[in-house]
A and B are shown apart, each in its own frame.
Chain A
Amino acid sequence: MALSDYMLWKLFANKPAGPSVNGTMAAFAIGERVFQRDGVNPHMVRAVKLSIENDRKIAAKRAIANHRV
């Protein structure tokens, strides 16, 4: 009886929205299909390239500044 009540609660209770394994797996599957359909955006590749170059420039400037000290 206790188990039955528990199962009923499990099936019908209104639980707060939280991430679930099924939902997350489904989101990855949808993402895979969107990626297969749309591919990589060249503008975005350029944006990330610029960001990486920017990081390198800052790291080089800081390295030079530290070396001077």
Chain B
Amino acid sequence: MCGLSEIEKWFRKSALVDHLRQKHIVTCATYEGAPDDIVGLYALSTVVEDTAKLGSGISYFPFFGDSRYCPALQIVYMAIRRDLQGSDQGTIVLGEIVKRFATIGEQIGIPALILTPSNPDAARFYKERGGFAPYKKGAGMFLPLQSAIATLEAAAL
């Protein structure tokens, strides 16, 4: 479907089980009136992240051991059908995720949307197209809740 065997394998074998067990919330994007024709998908999960990892170029000094962790919404998987990659369909799916994060995050107080890009091209996409900031260390990236809310407000104007 999307060209990445790991996501395809997970989708065929475990996506429904993970969704029913509420491990991830899996959402499939389809065309109106064609529910079997999947355009793309995304899986979200709430996780606990080390606050000290967030924000390259910004200092953070935890007071105690247990002051390091914060809740976060993680994009576990996001995929677009290979023939539609680079089109507006992928943009709509990413916009849907940010819109959802801005709403949920504001309601229950989740400070960051995080993800680990699968390759350098994906990292570039999330940085340039999504406004995600890189972690201090490692391949992870995050989008602050403030950015998501401001984006939603700008889009709604």
Q: Enumerate chain B residues within 8 angstroms of A26, measured Cβ to Cβ.
A: 51, 60, 62, 67, 70
Contact of B131 among A22, A30, A43 (CB under 8 A): A43
Q: Mark B21-62, 1 if CB is under 8 A from A, else 0.
A: 000000000001000000000000000111100110110101
How far, in whole Å, are A7 and B49 apart by their CA atoms in the complex? 26
Chain A interface residue count, Cβ-Cβ cutoff 8 angstroms: 34
Q: Enumerate chain A residues within 8 angstroms of B70, measured Cβ to Cβ.
A: 19-20, 23-24, 26-27
Chain B interface residue count, Cβ-Cβ cutoff 8 angstroms: 47
12 pairs from A and B in contact (CB 8 Å cutoff): A24-B109, A26-B67, A27-B51, A28-B144, A28-B145, A41-B151, A44-B95, A46-B95, A50-B91, A50-B92, A52-B99, A52-B155
Q: Which 3 A-B pairs have the closest CB atoms?
A: A31-B144, A41-B131, A47-B95
